Amino acid sequence: MLLTWLFQQALPFWSTRGVDRVHGGFYERFDPTGAIVPEPRRARLVARQIYAFSAAERLGWAGPARPILRHGLTALDGFFAADGTLIATRTPEGETLNGAFDSYDHAFVLFALAAAHAGGEQTEAARVRAHRLLEMMRQTYAHRRAGFEEASPPTLPLKANPHMHLLEACLAWAQTAPDPAWDRLADEIAELSLAAFIDPATGALYEYFDHDWRPLPGDRKIVEPGHQFEWAWLLIRWGTLRGRPDAIAAARRLVALAEAHGVDRALGLAVNELDANLTIRDARARLWPQTERLKAHVALQAVARDAGERADASGKIAEAARGMMRFFAHPVAGAWWEHIDRTGEPIVEPTRASSLYHIVLAIEVLREVQAA
């Protein structure tokens, strides 16, 4: 179901209409009629599309995945300044709009370089560039305790989300080109999440922190069900690699919390946000939390302690997959709705190319288990 839609609708759309053949790179958004929304270009989107098409090739798509992967790598070159620093945002013509450090962008570029390396594309160049980026981050933006600052000089808030994607990138690099540097950073981030990001009282993982890695109070103390699922997927992977049952236990608790408080049972969809007291703050359901729900339950199925847990995970995987498919009922074949409201109706808004990363990764994770 998901793979058929990906191969027959999504990848044909994004490999043709989503690729900018004039300026390079990829278009960011399309309106509900399928028309391009003119916007600046982001390094993170180029990085996500590099991953998406490298995964498309691994999944067996018969289209031009490798040429588009190379197209993305060429575009990514344009996001590096002469001194090797990463440019976050540019105009389509190549003018720098934002050259400030962004840990989120760096995480995705590291992830994209790992995908290129895993696919045998520019392997040594990708490895060298990734290590140079990591060294720069360590030298300039390392937090005094663990993880990374958001700027130099430091600014607030510190954020969990970029660290989640850095952990993802480290695990990808450890798989394709093992190196102690990636293991050390993965361990550092995983330990930080267990010690600081997750509230020991509720088991909830928060988003924003002060300089001592304490959760910010008030309106900044939010809980995103999608990130509970996404961190759980990563912590199960890391905990399995390191023999850390505490990480797997924390992941189980994250998923249980998100299922209990962050899923609209009538819709069968994960909602956007909860307050610190775990009541719903934003009842809309965005596409990407559904993909993370699927991944989390695939991971839980792999570490299930009995037949009951395996069956429960299997049921939730099926529910998450059905939830994803609801967003794909779009008038433009291969596009999707980004949000469904609490009545079950899609919110009419542009389709974001960046969501393709979430979709493809969920399908790849599911396919790996099915093929095992």
Write out pLDDT tens, residues 224-257. Answer: 999 999 999 999 999 999 999 999 999 999 999 9
Q: Would you list the domain boundaries of the chain?
A: 199-327
Contact 48, 108 (CB under 8 A): yes
The DSSP string of 250-285 is: HHHHHHHHHHHHSEETTTTEE-SEE-TTS-EEE--E
Q: What is the CATH number of domain 199-327?
A: 1.50.10.20
Contact 284, 340 (CB under 8 A): yes
Which of these, 199, 103, 87, 198, lies nearest to 143 by C-alpha position?
A: 103
Look up residue 51 and give its DSSP letter: H
Task: Give yes or no for residue 370 having a pLDDT over 90.
Answer: no
Q: What confidence category does residue 303 fall into, taking pLDDT thresholds of 50, 70 and 90?
A: very high
Q: Beta partners for 159?
A: 208
**What is the torsion angle, in degrees rounded to the nearest 10, for the CA atoms of residue 366, residue 197, residue 238 and residue 248?**
-80
Q: If we measure between CA atoms, which residue out of 156, 129, 125 comes closest to residue 143?
A: 156
Confirm whether pTM is higher than 0.95.
yes
pLDDT band of residue 372 (cuts 50, 70, 90) is low
Residue 132: alpha-carbon gap to chain centroid: 22
Taking the C-alpha atoms of residue 313 and residue 316, their distance in angstroms, rounded to an integer, is 5
pLDDT in tens, 118-158: 999 999 999 999 999 999 999 999 999 999 999 999 999 99
State how far the Cα of 133 lies from the Cα of 128, in Å rounded to an integer. Answer: 9
Quote the pLDDT of residue 84.
87
